Every structure is written in structure tokens, then in C-alpha cells.
Structure 1
């Protein structure tokens, strides 16, 4: 027996030793790709030496003899820290993910091939200005210099992920950077899905006029009544079923409600305590590890610039120079229109146009798939745009037999000079110069907030389609592609884009809110990103005569929900402090406890409080009860509470209280009945998930920020190594916006928000600050992988200085690139 026991010990010890050796082997090979920031490297493609000074937050400060050399250095730095991320962005734009991930990403690849982003990017290379062309070539050479170093020195294939998903890395070319710019437009556009959903709701409702309740227009003058979708396409099935693709984490197409959101505000010298202009900006995108943003400083011939870059692109997209600050917020310009194209019944290779039937423009595209045979996709285009698959956006649910759907979209052009515009803004020395430089910007449409040393301004940049006043649906629901009046007629002039320069109030800002009210067809949009955060911003801005850098930071980090303050008195109007005494543990008593907590709450979505969870769960259950009997399965598409819908119902605007009556029941329910029942639903859900001690609940436990690795983060056991999870404050409608997932099992996870924050003070520019949500490195073994994450969570920042001596004094390493 003892002999057997000794052998069992030896076997167990041997297994432990083998596991340790395997872990050491994994660590060795993974660590080989950790960059050495303190060395001299000889490389081809440089005109003179370049210095990349890494400060103690691993922000590269890049110095060179020419702008081309500086962009070379940026490409090298991006590839040092974010090579995997860059290659994934490129593969996504090319529609080549399935070469690594197999059939799981085939739907993503097929859709992006149909859009042909990479083909349009290749065409756009020839229309960039000379400066941008040179910058793109130099940046590409810098990326390739890092690839050459990785190959020559066997540096672990450049990133740990490359061992798991091994594939050759092609040299970087300018088209790759242009394609990533177009990919951003996909991530920041949501009108297409909104059009399709509006059509689906119109078909689902017994009274289609009630679409205006559940998908309300933002407050302001109304628009003309739209036709019902069934009037435009009488043969469409009201309750059609079609296959819809499951979303993959690498899919760049945003889910409804996630098509970009951001904050930016500025103060003129007369509203600044120190007498200089102020600018705050926090663009919002989906969270990931690493973050999409990468901090960098470039010392250009026009002066130093510092701020947020996106790996793969040679531009500081939000940041400052010595004389100018610039920030971006999504403008929600209506730059997408869905068309239903009628096929020729005698030849399905043709579609109807105003001039009769014409053949589709067609091209075959081969998609290689890991562990499967390649497939050939037949790509088709109409005069309006590419033909989309019925499994995307639910298009198959609204497309009548004998028809297909296409999309017109401003980003689908081979004459896209958006990157030239970005580099022009980055080098501008004044607000006027920056507005002029942005004229050639195409997509995605943005609100560009600007400050120089004296002036503040906001300008909507990007192409705005010119529509005919006779357009059948005003671009709000899919329309007939063969009718000339529904088609675009070029673009609106840049001068007509909204512009606000040097306002008398000395303050301006944007939270994706409605900026202008113009009648169709001169409108900017019918759909806006926000009608709530802007109210809180107005209160904070107007509460002070003058502002400081710290008051702008305070506003950026504000967690008070205007929505909670305005809606709770409405939905609980007949519930507060009512009801008979009830024994502990009964539903009535639990309801009283919850209402007591909410009655004394100020609307602050603080991670340590229980009230935000009670409020969020109640509103979510309330919207579900209001719409599920009318919309049926379509209710699942409404993953987030629309405050305007709730307000319309409880104020009975245009008879909207009819939503409170459950059609399937004999009694006539009131809104108070539904509010009470929804609160009980919410408390049951909370009790099952978090327990019945409501006073001990923490919003932050439910509202965790999910900075997850898009590929490895979903793998059991090892996902936790790559993912960064944090308890956070804020919510869907706070200035410190933490957009929730909206879906089970974790509907309140914080999945979309400010991956970058910057506040620029031109009274003392070097006191400006910025932060990103994870760290600079994309390497999970690097100490810079998540070192900024806790600062970001706590609302802290790091300095944003253009002083080269400060950068060198705090340097953790200096990489010197020398011409070979």
C-alpha cells in the first residue's frame, strides 16, 4: 500500500511539475512580445533619428526632424503596444475574420464584404491631400519597422494572441488606416437599424399612429405625419418571421442604442475664472480591453499636439495643441437610408429604377474560413447602394416577396477625405482654420467642439444628404428605391451644417442632444442620442458665473440622473406613502421599503447606493409591462428604457396612457396599476439575484464596467486574466454615462461609455489632463495593461503637458529610431 502511495505522490508531483513547466513556457513565449522601451533601433524608412519618450503612464512623446518621421514614430509606437488590436481592426474592415475564427464570424465578414469598406478605402487613397498621403505612408512604414523587428529578433510574434490565432501579418499600407476610419463610421451609425425597427413596430401595432409613443421624437416642433409602412408595401407580411444572425463580439455594427454617444462643452474667457478658454470632451464607445483609445503626443512642424489616437490611424482625434483644443461628439446626422428594391419578375438579376429595370452591379468575393471550405459571396449594388442580406437588422421581416433591401450611406464612397480633414484640424492654429479644414470631412458625422485662446465654437462636420421634399418616408422608414423622389441628390452645402461660434452666453456644449430644429428636407436628423443628459448639463453650467478646469471635471464626472428626478414623481404619484401596514416579508411591505428608499433619494447614481438599482430595475420592468402585450416578441428589441416614452404614457400625451391597459385582460388597468405591478416585478428580480436586504444593495455590483478582451475574454477560466471589471457609478442618462447592456443575465452591466476623458485649460495649458479607461498596452503581462483603469474608475486623470523636459524627467524609457 505504501509503495502505491509513493507512486501516486510521484505521479502527482510530476503532473504539478509539468503544469509549472507549461506555465513557465507560456510566460516565456508571451513575455517575448513585451516591448523594450529603452533602446536604440536601426531601421529603414527614416530621414533622421526619432525619439519616442515614454512618460510614467507609458504615453509616447514623439520627436523627429520632420512630420513624416514623427508619424513613422507613431506607427512604431502603436505597433509596439497594440499590434493585435490593429490587425483585428484591419481584418474586420477587410471582412477576413473567419480566416482566424472560422464560421463563428462568417456573418460579420459577409456583411462587411457587402459594404466593401476596404474597396472604398483603397479608392480614397488617391483623393487625400499631399500632406495626408505622406503621413499615411510614413505611418505605415513605422508599423512595418516594428513588424520587421519582431521577425528579426523573434519577439513572440508581436502579441500573445498571435500564438493562439496564428496567421501571417501582411505589411501595413495606407489603405488599412483609411479602412479603419470607415470602420468607425459603422460603429457610430444607427439610423439604418432605427428605420427598420420603426417599420417593424408599425406593422406590429394595431394602431400604427402609436409608433410616435414607443419611438418618440425628441421635444420640439413636430413633423408631418408619415405613411404607415404597410401603405408603402402592401404585400409585406405583418407578422413575418426571418432568420436573424446572432451577434459576435467582434461585430462592429452597434446594437440599437449604442451607435455612439459623447459629451463636450466649452467656456469662453469671460466665463472662465482664470480668463482662458476651457474645453472638456469624453467620446463614448463600447468598452474593451485594451480600450480603443491610445494616448500620444506628436511634436509636429506646426507645434506639439497631444490627446487620443486610435491605433491604426495617424491622427490625434481629440486633444489639444498650444493654441487649439478640439473634441468630438456624435452628431446623429441622418446619413443612412434603407431602400426596398423591386426585382424584375422575369429576371432577378435586374431591379427597378426610375428609368426601368437595370442589372445589378455584381462581383464575386471569396471568403476563406478556418477549418472549413471557402465560400463565394455574390456582392450586388444598386444605384442607391449595396444590397444587404435579409438576416441583418431584421430586414427580412420588412422586405416583401420579390424585393431586396439596399442602403445609401455617406461612408460608402471612394472620395472620402475624412482623414485629410482630421490631420488638417490637428494642425490648425485657430477655430477659424479648424472649421475650414473640416470642410472635407465626410463620415461619420460629428459635432466638432473647438476652442482657441480666445474663441469657442461648435460645428457639425460630415456630409448631410440632400433629400427631395416629396420623399415618401422622409428617410424615417424604408422607402421604394425605384421612385426618383426618394433618392438622394448629392449633399447639402457645408455652410448649412449647424455652426455656433462665439455665443453670447460664453458657453456651449453637446451631449448628442438635438442641436437644431429644421423642417424636412433641411433637417439634420429626426433621431438624436440624448434628451436627458443635456438637462443636467444646463443646470451645472448655469449654476456658476465662471468655470474652472475643476468645475468642468466635476461636470464630466456628475452622476445625478435628471431622468430619475423627473420620472419617479410621475410613475409613483399614487404610490408614495400609501398602503396599509403590512407584515414583514409580504410583497406590500417590500414595496413600502423600496418606495421609502426612493422617496428620499436625490437621483445620484452612486455605485455604493441601493436606490439606483431599485430605480433601474423598476423602470425596466415598467417598460416591459407597458409594451409586451402590444409588441409581442418585438418587445425584446427595446432593451433600454426610453424616458420620453415613459413620460408620454404617464402624462397621457396624445392619449399615450392607453399603453397601460393590458389588451389581453378583461379589466381596464390604470397606469398606477402597471407601476405597482412593475415595482413588484423588479423587487422579485432583485431578491432572486441580490437578496431581500434592499438597504444593503450596491448599484456598483450590478453596474460593473466590462472592459473585456473581445476574443479571449469569453473563454472560461482564462477570460478573467484578460478582462478588467470594475464597480462604477453613473447610468444610461447621467453625464458620467455608463450605458447598460440591457440584456439578461446582466442587464445593468456598464458596457459603453467614456473610454477617453480630457479637460483642456488654455489659461494654463500644461495643467490640462486626460485619461483612458484601461492602460496604454494591449499586452496582458504589461504593467501598463490596466494601470490607468483604477484612476479612470475613481475619476482621476494624468497630466497632459507639451513640455518636453517634463516628459523626459518622468521617462520610463526612450526608444531611439535611427536611419539604417
Structure 2
């Protein structure tokens, strides 16, 4: 036998395998191509009274032109249905509690929690309550979505992968998309109030006031002043512990890790052209595709265009400019729901109301589970709202929540398209059926303003800060505030307005808004101070502020850490990195990573006795959103080292601090890199994946965005983590849109073979000033 025979056999085998792989890749490519959207040509829809032209540029940004708003809604629905249907499906299932039907029992716990709110029934009720003209716009949008889905050569690739069939879109599904944003931006079980009530009830007053103040020196409200310093408590922290207690530790994630946003606006006195200039960047989870879809459309009856970020699922502009007025949103973090502890009879089957004992209404909700048996959930309802859980003493809690009311979900954002002034835009605030936002506006005449976008309940007999019984009728909601009662700021003397999820009001207006976990004011203060450092602004100036990664918040922690390491020879290399940290949350800074994580570990160690104490009453207790003002207590302990507040697991404050640093260094060392390469970017590496990529790894090969090492962090304007951050950045002056800037993570299309799947993502990563206005037309589609 020739020695060449085995080689020939191996060669033939290798060629055969290569051919099979090539055939497989070609088959996958052809399979994927079937679900690509239609970009060019003419389509006879049979459903339009007025034709529509859709012009797309190289980035996939459409300009929709028609003389009919209904036809524009149809075209936007068509584009959403073609480009983003699976994303839309996840949104409606998320708030309806129907994800298990699609992905199996991995989503069952989520569906159980959400289904108690019965959002699908509420969505249908809210659609029926819409004005006739809005129902018409929504109906055409729904028709467009379903035609877009039908016109794909094959169902979206995600359904092929899951072996599922997409079901048609409905008007109620569009309202469910609004409710899905509630679930992202507000707690469906009132977490902040639940934990705050428990802490206030169980902790000694002085310890509660010290660890959980309402605010402090970092505050930067629009109206009012920063809070004063915290007072050291008298109670010894060891008094919380029993002899047999083993102190509990829970890793401390960033205390400003919130789904929120930044926005600000400067008046015409501070711009070269005299128009107001607005900046907005909404911080949300980062996925493939982006939550937003960029679009522009003609505004019928005018010569202007709407340019906006839309939410696939609805026919509305979420943030953008109509050529006269620009607006942006940040989450208010105000209090828009109340937990009500129920007073039960001895049998536990009735609860007390102002009109006597009442029986619970029990409604079954069937949850379909892919690959399993359906589950029936019994929803217990009261006159105030559904039962969502129990408090720290085991008392059932009903939830009175704006999201449950008709006022909580509507399409009144459509009205923003035609407002002519900032004042008109502010007037819409109370009418907007959205999760409550800081609505910041500026118009082409230079006027600026702020208000709450969303309906505000009129509380009687309670301030909403604690869970109290409503059984005797002295505590209740008396409808909603009118437009004249809504907090509002218009054309302040400073010509500047800013918000960043922190407290914006004081006094009576703060009482109206309440507190559901305001972010620490560091980010907001850095923005405010930067705005007051200049007397004129261009679009680039505001973009630079959006990208500001100066670590002003951590400067004092860096200085204290240097003092701690003085004379510690074994930490000489660490001290050198901390000293030369660059004072920025820079991807290439080792020192920033050390300082940032040292502070969080210090927070974990110093609050562990409180956590241990609370878990005596609630086994799964965690600080959650109640931890966002912990900085004031942490800094006071770090600075003054009070002996009676030292965690008993440590012999001294120095030992605790060095243990915190050692824990940080040990965690960094797991990367397997020398200290000089353990940069902030190594930890803060983008992980922007398709939702299915978390379960099916090969999906990431085609769809994941590059694993860029990112600058920025949560306590500064360039808010950034591996999976959350600025979902978009916008800088715009209405009437001067040709100079406006827009960034969006990922790209327009969810399809990995789309010519604009990731177009624009590099601008988002690198901060390049890419335009808001759509570019030269590359593709033209006519809908007849």
C-alpha cells in the first residue's frame, strides 16, 4: 500500500468537510436572506387612501412622505413589522406576561409576577377609550405592521430558530408596548416603598436617618437646594446583631445603576441662532437591535418634518423634533404608586374597606408554557388594585398604580407633532399616558421648559412615602392633578434646565412628585456645573457634555485611598496606578477601576450589619433602589471612622479598608492579566447581544456588537456599563436640524444580513458627531 494513500484519504475527507461546511453556510445564508425586508420598488397595499413614499439613506433611516397622517402611520407600521417584529413581540409578551408561551418555563416566574396586573385586558380597555382620530391612526399602524410581516419572504429568523409562528399584531399590542416601558422604568411591586417602609419600621431612627437620607450635598435640583450633611447616629451598629449572627454580605453593584437618562436644554440667549438647544440621552438596557427605531416623516398640512426615535410597537415619536419644538425624556424616579397593607378578617378571605368588609375578587389567568402544561394563576383583586405580595410582617399588599388606570396609557404623544411652542408642549404633560418622565422642551424661538410628562395622582391623607392602610377611608386618591397643578419650570432666568433621574424639585412640588428612589445627584450636579461653566453653546459642546467621563464624584475617594496606602510597600504598584488614574472613567485607566470598586466594596462591608439585621425579618431582603443615597453615610464613615459603626467582623477601620481593597484586587486578578493591564475597559466591556444570544450562543456569532472596551460609568454624564447605557444621544435645535446630532447603539435593522444592521454603531462607541437628518437617498419604496 502506498504511503500516499492515507494522505489522499485525509485530503479528500478535508475537502469533503470543507464542502459540507460551505454548503451549510450557503444554506444558512439563503435561509436568512428569505426574511430580509423590502427596500425598493412599489407595493400595492389595497389599504391606503393616500400613497406613501419611503426614502431610506445608507444607514437605513427612513423619510416617510404622504399627505395623510393615517398613511404615514401605516408606512411606519410596515417598516416596524419588516425590521423589528420579533422585538415588538417580546415587548407585548413582556407586559402581558406571555413570554413563557414563546420561550418556555425560563420566563415563567416573570410571567407570574406581571400577569397579576392583567395588562392585556387593560390595554384593550385603553384602546377603546382613545379619541376617534387616534384610534384611526392606530388601526392603520396595525394594518401596516401585519402587511409588513406578510410581505417578508419568510417569517423573521428568530421564529424559525424557535420553531414558532408569529401571531398578528393588534391595537391592544401597541398599548402593551407602552406598559412594557412601565415595567422597565417603574417597579410593578413598589420595591422602593416596600423596602423603605420595612427599614423605617425596623431600624432605630438614628440609624435609618444616617444610612437612608433623602439626599445630601450632591443634590442639584432645578428648584431648591442641596440637603445638609448626615448626622452620626448614637446607636452602636453591633446592637443590630445577635450573638449567633453570621454577618451577611451581598456584592454591591453601582448604587446609581438605574434605568434613567440625562437631558438638558439651553435657551436662545445662549445659542448663536437664538433657538433653544436640547440634549437627550436615554439610559436603558442595550440589546440587538436597539429599543428605538429612527424615523422621519412629513407633518401633513405643514412644510416641516418630524425626526424622532420611535418605539417599534406604536405609531408615535418618543423623543425628537417637529421643526418648531424639540423634546426629550428622563425617568423622574418619582412616586406613582402606593402599596396598601390589607386588614384581613380572621379567616383571611375578606379585607376591610371604608364601606366594611369586602371579599377579594379572584380572576384566573392561564399562562401558556412552551413545551409544558399551562399554568393557572389566580389573581386576587381589591377595590384599590391587585395583591402583589406581602410586607415584612407578612401582611398582604394591594397596589394602587397609575399604570392601572386609563390615564396611564394612551397615544397623546401624537399631539407633540403639531405643537408650535415650548409652552404648548408643556401643557401636554398631564395628558401623556406614559411612565412618568421629566419632559424637557425647547422651541425655535428660544423658549425652554420642564414638567412631568404623565398623570399625577392627587393623594389625600397620605404622602405616599410609606405603606399605610386605606381601610378607614382617610387615605385615598382623589383623581389626578390638572394642568394648572402640574409642577412646571418655564424660561428660568439662568436659561438652563437639567435633569438626570435625581431630585428636581423641593417643597410642595417635591411632595407632589414623591420619591421612588432618586439617583444620587452626582451625575446631575456634574451636568449642571458644566452648563454654568459656559455662556454659549453649540451642538458639539452639548455632545461633549454627553460624553463627559470626568470622575469628579470619586476624586475624594481617590485621595483617601492614597492616604490609606501611604507607607504600604506591598501596595506600591497599586498606589502608583491610583495616583495616576487620570481622573476619568477612561477605558484605559487601571486606577479608576481600583478606586471605583474599592468604594463599592467599602459600601458592602459597612452596610452588612444592617443587611444581616433586616434578613432576620425578610430572608431575601436586599437594599435594591433604597441604596442610592448610601454615599453620604459611606463617606462619613470613611472620613471620620466612628468606632461604634465599625462592622464587628473587623478589628479596625484600617483593617476593613484594606480588606475591601484586597477583595477588589483579588477579583481583578481573576482576569489573568498583570495589574497594569487590568483597566476599567477590561471590566467595562460591551456585551450588547440579541436576547436569544443569551440562550443560543451561535446567535451571537452573527448578531452581537463588538466587545468594545468602553469609557464612562454610572455616576457621571457618560453613563455606561457593559449592558446598559445611552440607548441614543440627541442634540438638536428645532429649526436648525441640519446641525443636529444623533447616536444610536447598534443599528436600524434586526436582520444580520441587512445593509444597515449595525450602521451608526461606531459613531455611538467613538462619539463621532453623526447627523440627525437622514442622508442621501439610497433606497426608495412606494406604498400604493
Q: C-alpha displacement at 1:199, in angstroms?
A: 4.2
Asked whether 1:176 is paired with 2:173, we answer yes
- Check whether the contact 1:442–1:463 (CA below 8 A) recurs between aligned residues: yes
Q: Distance in 1 between matches of 2:726 and 2:377?
A: 37
Deviates more, 1:709-718 or 1:607-616: 709-718
Asked whether 1:445 is paired with 2:417, we answer no
Q: In structure 2, do the counterparts of structure 1 residues 647 and 95 end up closer, same or farther at CA, with 3 Å as the change threshold?
A: closer
Look up the SS of the partner of 2:54 in the other structure.
strand
Q: C-alpha displacement at 1:464, in angstroms?
A: 2.1
Asked whether 1:361 is paired with 2:361, we answer yes
Cα deviation code 1:517-551 (max 9, x no counterpart): 12599341233124101221122111111111111
TM-score normalised per structure 1? 0.84
Give the aligned partner of residue 291 of structure 2: 292
Give the aligned partner of residue 232 of structure 1: none
Give the aligned partner of residue 23 of structure 1: 25
Give the aligned partner of residue 659 of structure 2: 677
Give the aligned partner of residue 592 of structure 2: 612
Give the aligned partner of residue 215 of structure 2: 218
Q: Distance in 1 between matches of 2:731 and 2:376?
A: 49
- Check whether the contact 1:102–1:372 (CA below 8 A) recurs between aligned residues: yes
Look up the SS of the partner of 2:365 in the other structure.
strand
- Check whether the contact 1:99–1:368 (CA below 8 A) recurs between aligned residues: yes
Cα deviation code 1:729-766 (max 9, x no counterpart): 1101110111x4xxxxxxxxx22211111101347331
- Check whether the contact 1:117–1:183 (CA below 8 A) recurs between aligned residues: no
Look up the SS of the partner of 1:776 in the other structure.
coil
Q: Distance in 1 between matches of 2:384 and 2:534?
A: 50
Q: C-alpha displacement at 1:716, in angstroms?
A: 3.2
Give the aligned partner of residue 722 of structure 1: 703
Q: In structure 2, do the counterparts of structure 1 residues 258 and 613 end up closer, same or farther at CA, with 3 Å as the change threshold?
A: closer
Q: Distance in 2 between matches of 1:658 and 1:289?
A: 50
Look up the SS of the partner of 1:418 in the other structure.
coil
Q: C-alpha displacement at 1:494, in angstroms?
A: 3.2
Q: In structure 2, do the counterparts of structure 1 residues 565 and 595 end up closer, same or farther at CA, with 3 Å as the change threshold?
A: same
Deviates more, 1:362-371 or 1:492-501: 492-501
Q: C-alpha displacement at 1:648, in angstroms?
A: 2.6
Q: C-alpha displacement at 1:792, in angstroms?
A: 0.3
Give the aligned partner of residue 398 of structure 1: 392
Q: Distance in 2 between matches of 1:216 and 1:21?
A: 64
Give the aligned partner of residue 251 of structure 1: none
Q: Distance in 1 between matches of 2:444 and 2:143?
A: 35
Look up the SS of the partner of 1:522 in the other structure.
helix
Q: Distance in 2 between matches of 1:636 and 1:720?
A: 38
Give the aligned partner of residue 38 of structure 1: 40
- The match for 1:542 among 511, 527, 532 is 532
Deviates more, 1:515-524 or 1:34-43: 515-524
Give the aligned partner of residue 603 of structure 2: 623
Give the aligned partner of residue 229 of structure 1: none
TM-score normalised per structure 2? 0.88
Asked whether 1:761 is paired with 2:741, we answer no
Report the number of matched residues: 743
Q: Distance in 2 between matches of 1:486 and 1:19?
A: 69
Give the aligned partner of residue 161 of structure 2: 164
Q: Distance in 1 between matches of 2:713 and 2:638?
A: 26
- Check whether the contact 1:480–1:486 (CA below 8 A) recurs between aligned residues: yes
Cα deviation code 1:752-811 (max 9, x no counterpart): 21111110134733111212111000112223222221110001243223xxxx75xx12
- Check whether the contact 1:447–1:460 (CA below 8 A) recurs between aligned residues: yes
- Check whether the contact 1:467–1:521 (CA below 8 A) recurs between aligned residues: no
Q: In structure 2, do the counterparts of structure 1 residues 271 and 479 end up closer, same or farther at CA, with 3 Å as the change threshold?
A: same
Look up the SS of the partner of 1:313 in the other structure.
coil
- Check whether the contact 1:128–1:417 (CA below 8 A) recurs between aligned residues: no
Give the aligned partner of residue 635 of structure 2: 650
- Check whether the contact 2:428–2:453 (CA below 8 A) recurs between aligned residues: no
Q: In structure 2, do the counterparts of structure 1 residues 462 and 488 end up closer, same or farther at CA, with 3 Å as the change threshold?
A: same
- Check whether the contact 2:459–2:476 (CA below 8 A) recurs between aligned residues: yes
Asked whether 1:407 is paired with 2:399, we answer yes
Aligned 1:454-603 pairs, distance under 5 A: 454=445, 455-469=447-461, 471=462, 474-518=463-507, 522-526=511-515, 527-569=517-559, 571-572=560-561, 574-575=563-564, 578-579=566-567, 582=569, 589-590=570-571, 592-603=572-583
Q: C-alpha displacement at 1:481, in angstroms?
A: 4.8
Q: Distance in 1 between matches of 2:458 and 2:660?
A: 45
- Check whether the contact 1:445–1:462 (CA below 8 A) recurs between aligned residues: yes
Give the aligned partner of residue 708 of structure 1: 689
- Check whether the contact 1:380–1:386 (CA below 8 A) recurs between aligned residues: yes
- The match for 1:813 among 762, 779, 782 is 779
- Check whether the contact 1:266–1:277 (CA below 8 A) recurs between aligned residues: yes
Q: Which runs of 5+ in 1 are unaligned?
A: 226-238, 240-253, 583-588, 741-749
Give the aligned partner of residue 586 of structure 1: none
Q: C-alpha displacement at 1:69, in angstroms?
A: 0.6
Give the aligned partner of residue 770 of structure 1: 742
Cα deviation code 1:291-324 (max 9, x no counterpart): 1011000112143100211101111111112111
Deviates more, 1:129-138 or 1:277-286: 129-138
Q: Which runs of 5+ in 2 are unaligned?
A: 217-225, 232-244, 246-252
Q: Distance in 1 between matches of 2:595 and 2:637?
A: 22
Asked whether 1:790 is paired with 2:752, we answer no
Look up the SS of the partner of 2:342 in the other structure.
strand
- Check whether the contact 2:212–2:630 (CA below 8 A) recurs between aligned residues: yes
Q: Distance in 2 between matches of 1:364 and 1:640?
A: 32
Q: In structure 2, do the counterparts of structure 1 residues 377 and 427 end up closer, same or farther at CA, with 3 Å as the change threshold?
A: same
Look up the SS of the partner of 1:124 in the other structure.
helix
Give the aligned partner of residue 246 of structure 1: none
Look up the SS of the partner of 1:758 in the other structure.
strand
